[in-house]
Amino acid sequence: MQESLLERESALEQSPDLLVEEIPGGRWRILRISSGLAKAAGLGLEQARGRSLDGLFPEAVPPLAEMARRALEESSVRAALRLSGDRKIPPLELLARFEGLGEGYRSRVAFFFRLARPAAAPRTFAGMIGSSPAMLAVFERISLYAASDASVVITGETGSGKELVARALHDLSARSAGPYVALNCSAVSEELLESELFGHEKGAFTGAVRSHRGRFERADRGSLFLDELGDMPLRTQAKLLRVLETGRVERVGAEQELRVDVRILCATHVALEQAVARGGFRADLYHRLAVLRIHLPPLRRRLEDIPLLVEHFLEEFSRKYGRRIERLTPEAMALLQSYLWPGNVRELRNLLERIFVETRTEVVGARAFSDWIRERREFAGEGYRQQQGAALIPPYPVVSGLLSAPDSGGLAARAGKPRKLDEAIVRDAYRCAQGNLSEAARLLGVHRATLYRWLERQGLSREELE
């Protein structure tokens, strides 16, 4: 790959670094690959040929298979490619170009890679904070989907920022001049939900003393965000489906329909597919809504974004309270990065506001979090007992000794620093990483290969760790 990256003036004038062919099932097979690219992927030439494209750089953002599909639609497409994980590869510029039909009438796409000009990863995007590969993928998908009028299902855990994504999709769309209207389906009773969505006429039911415009009417020529869609009653789902299919809404108690032009954005923290299987969500409505999908990663999967979020929230609270906290100590930051964050960004924001109120120093150390740590550990234990394994709060990573001296050597304060391995601490980290050995190695501050070798020497398998 070295010569193709550094000596080529124009990628279009040279042989591709990678040629792939579409195969049944919407997948792609590698037909040809340059020796440098195969080496960068840790593969031999013969080993790489014939493999699925999904397995070449599975951590690539954007995914290579997605770039191939886009090349079919647009003839050629460019993107800034980043590789997460342990690969020591600089950011690349990627061109994917449709090459036509190969033998057997299968589509072929050629990939060209070039070293990208050094540039700082974006820290903010449409009100969201992050520069991790996971969030950069979300930002790119928002940019791609904003131009469409198709409905979008936004998934993610509680507190991960699903409404921020919905707002960004609206603000970056051609509908941005129109209204953005939101409704939390779980915050309204079943009796009132239809009235909130579709409106009602005066006298339609007891208490209807005046006519009421529903959210669909208010969102006309704009976007309607339906939060916690999975909690919508089945009867209301049927009426929603009719509105989406006809583009017309009928107020409760009315005799005529009104035409509305609304883009639907919806969010859920439950898997709609499972709700359909249980009979709690209509399959026809699911297929009508799930045209485009965006999944927000939990905060524990993008811990590298925590320093950016902390900086942002400290600045916000400095303006709110009229005084400043400049920063957290490295020990305090390591403490935050060793927690699993079941409440995600919302939980982090709430914690930092609490610390801001309780602290009068300009620099906050790990000891300021002692009460919070103790509360989390107690709540985690209660959650495990109450939910029979489905914890309300996951255990704090590497809990042994965490509360003993947070400012002077607690394990969380040393997260990411090499430490001596023993069976108890490895089991603890493995459990906290939910069976992910790479994440367990990060919590222990060792390379994953080191952890693998240690497990082999101890004769411990995954099953025995569990």
Q: Which tens digits make up the pLDDT trace of 93-103?
A: 888 888 877 66
Going by C-beta distance under 8 Å and a sequence separation of 6 or more, which residues neighbour residue 70?
77, 96
Which tens digits make up the pLDDT trace of 54-92? 888 887 878 888 888 888 877 788 877 777 555 556 667
Mean pLDDT for the chain overall: 79
Q: Distance (Å, rounded) from C-alpha 171 to C-alpha 221?
A: 13
Q: First vs last Cα of the chain: how many Å apart?
A: 42
Residue 220, CA atoms < 13 Å, CB-side half-sphere:
11
Euclidean distance between CA atoms 83 and 63, whole angstroms: 10
Query: Which of 74 and 161 is assigned the larger pLDDT?
Result: 161
Name all domains of the chain by residue range, CATH numbers in brackets.
2-115 (3.30.450.20), 128-295 (3.40.50.300), 301-412 (1.10.8.60), 416-466 (1.10.10)
Give residue-wise pLDDT tens across range 184-235: 988 888 778 888 888 877 766 666 657 778 889 899 999 999 999 988 889 8
- Residue 381: pLDDT band with limits 50, 70, 90: low
Helix axes 437-444, 423-432, angle to 10 degrees: 120
φ and ψ at residue 352, rounded to 5 degrees:
-65, -35
Backbone angles phi, psi at 9, to 5 degrees: -80, -40
CA atoms of 68 and 59, how far apart (whole Å): 16
pLDDT band of residue 8 (cuts 50, 70, 90) is very low
User: Given a cut of 90, is residue 262 above it in pLDDT?
Assistant: yes
pLDDT at position 209 is: 57
**pLDDT tens readout for residues 118-129:** 555 557 888 899
Q: Which two tokens stand for residue 147?
A: 């131009």
> d(Cα 243, Cα 220) in Å, to the nearest integer?
13
User: Is beta strand 18-23 parallel, antiparallel or unpaired with respect to 107-115?
Assistant: antiparallel
Between CA 287 and CA 233 the distance in angstroms is 17
Q: pLDDT per residue over 292-325, tens digit each?
A: 999 999 998 888 899 999 999 999 999 999 999 9
CB 364 within 8 A of CB 352: no
CA distance 448 to 461: 15
The model carries a pTM of: 0.62
